[in-house]
Amino acid sequence: MKQRLEQRVGYLALPLLMAAAFATQARADGETIAVFTKNQTNPFFQTVRVGADTMAKTLNAKTLQYIPTKPDSIPEQLSQIEDVVVKKPSAIVFTPVDYKAMVPGVEKINDAKIPVVNITDRSAGGKFLSFVGADDYSLGLETARFLLKTLGGKGNIVIIEGVKGSLTNVDRVRGFNDALKENPGAKLLASQPGNYQRLQALQVMENLMQSNQQIDGVLAANDAMAVGAIEALEGANRKAQVIGINGTKEAIDAIKSGKLLASGDYNGFFQGCLGTMMAIRALREQPVIAEIVLKPTVITKDNYQPFDTPLEQRTCPTFEEAGKLSAK
């Protein structure tokens, strides 16, 4: 099995491996998939975990969740990797808390010959069976374009960034700024980090309101921070159009109530589904897709209904549908 999996990693230079020999390939079940996410504070990662659990249950496998107790803790995730290498699950679905700092950890997983799929944040190194994520730049660009269109291409704008240096933040903020460049009537007042945390974003927004009498639009790099910004605005009895990214339940609820203008669909549920699917398919010697980058969708009051489904009632896509979901 180990030799066959190593060969499979080599095959994944191909963008898509079709199921030509599907019917003749061996099957098994009961695998244990270790799922690594970054924290318990960002609702996005709960959707990832539910997606992974749903797919594992569908395929008669089980998951083992690894979540740092301190959000995005590099030492803690490295410690968890030491643990998972000892426990030797069938495969790992891995989100690095830091795409560079966790490379030595991924290399330990590789040395232990445990198959691993990378989801959400693309690792800077290591060998993976597959990558499943979203186009962060397009999400930033399209959500910002929607906000600026709503504002008529003008107004005073602030950006609340995620974790400085993280790939998701770099790409999303680059998209925000490119949308601002398209709208010379809009003025960027400030761009400050909220570290993807609701409370930190609330505090950042309070400080920004003290130094700026007029804020018309808020570009938040995730939904949790968007909600924090809304709470700050409400506390000061001020109004501004706010957008977030991730398409979480609290964002959908906020869109329905009119508090949030829009959210970019990062689709953590599908990322969890598809990452787990690729890990299990590789273990069962079935073809996998080397890279799935989900297409961006801006969720607004006009199209939120399909996203307003409880997590436990959602269904994972099929393998045939998975290839069609990718933007690349």
pLDDT at 327: 60
Report residue 164's pLDDT band, with 50, 70 and 90 as the boundaries.
Answer: confident
The verdict on 255 and 189 lying in the same domain is: yes
DSSP state of 83: H
Name the more confident of 305 and 7: 305
Length of the chain: 328
Q: Is residue 144 part of a domain?
A: yes
Q: Is residue 276 part of a domain?
A: yes
Q: Is residue 50 part of a domain?
A: yes
The verdict on 103 and 250 lying in the same domain is: no
Contact 37, 44 (CB under 8 A): no
The verdict on 171 and 284 lying in the same domain is: no
Q: Is residue 41 part of a domain?
A: yes
The verdict on 82 and 144 lying in the same domain is: no
Q: Is residue 26 part of a domain?
A: no
The verdict on 145 and 254 lying in the same domain is: yes
Report residue 166's pLDDT band, with 50, 70 and 90 as the boundaries.
Answer: confident
pLDDT at 188: 98
Q: Is residue 209 part of a domain?
A: yes
Q: What is the pLDDT of residues 195-223, one digit of tens each?
A: 999 999 999 999 999 999 999 999 999 99
The residue to which tokens 């301190």 are assigned: 70
Q: What is the pLDDT of residues 27-86, one digit of tens each?
A: 568 999 999 999 998 888 999 999 999 999 999 999 999 999 999 999 999 999 999 999
Task: Give the dihedral of Cα atoms 76, 78, 79, 85; nearest 10 deg.
Answer: 150
When mean pLDDT is compared across 201-205, 207-211, 236-240, 264-268, the lowest value belongs to 264-268
Note the pTM of the prediction, 2 decimals.
0.77
Helix H or strand E segment including 9: helix 2-11
The verdict on 320 and 222 lying in the same domain is: no
The verdict on 113 and 253 lying in the same domain is: no
Q: Is residue 243 part of a domain?
A: yes
**Cα 232–Cα 237–Cα 240 angle in degrees, nearest 5:** 70
pLDDT at 22: 37
Q: Is residue 70 part of a domain?
A: yes
pLDDT at 228: 97
Number of domains in the chain: 2
According to DSSP, the β-strands at 154-161 and 217-220 are: parallel
**What is the C-alpha to C-alpha distance for residues 120 and 99, in angstroms, rounded to an integer?**
10
Q: Minimal CA–CA distance to 147: which of 134, 131, 132, 158? A: 158
According to DSSP, the β-strands at 298-299 and 262-264 are: antiparallel
**What is the C-alpha to C-alpha distance for residues 125 and 119, in angstroms, rounded to an integer?**
13
**What is the C-alpha to C-alpha distance for residues 110 and 105, in angstroms, rounded to an integer?**
9
The verdict on 141 and 60 lying in the same domain is: no
Q: What is the mean pLDDT of residues 88-96?
A: 97
Using DSSP's 3-state secondary structure scheme, residue 325 falls into helix
Report residue 325's pLDDT band, with 50, 70 and 90 as the boundaries.
Answer: confident
pLDDT at 6: 42
Beta-carbon neighbour count of residue 88 at 10 Å? Answer: 11
Does 19 have pLDDT greater than 70? no
CATH of residue 84's domain is: 3.40.50.2300
Q: Which two tokens stand for residue 194?
A: 């909220």
The verdict on 96 and 44 lying in the same domain is: yes
pLDDT at 328: 59
The verdict on 151 and 251 lying in the same domain is: yes
Domain coverage including residue 288: 32-135+267-295+309-325
The verdict on 219 and 276 lying in the same domain is: no
The verdict on 47 and 148 lying in the same domain is: no
Does 9 have pLDDT greater than 80? no
pLDDT at 27: 52
Residues 6+ apart with CB under 8 A from 14: 290
Q: What is the pLDDT of residues 108-140, one digit of tens each?
A: 999 999 999 999 999 999 999 999 998 899 999
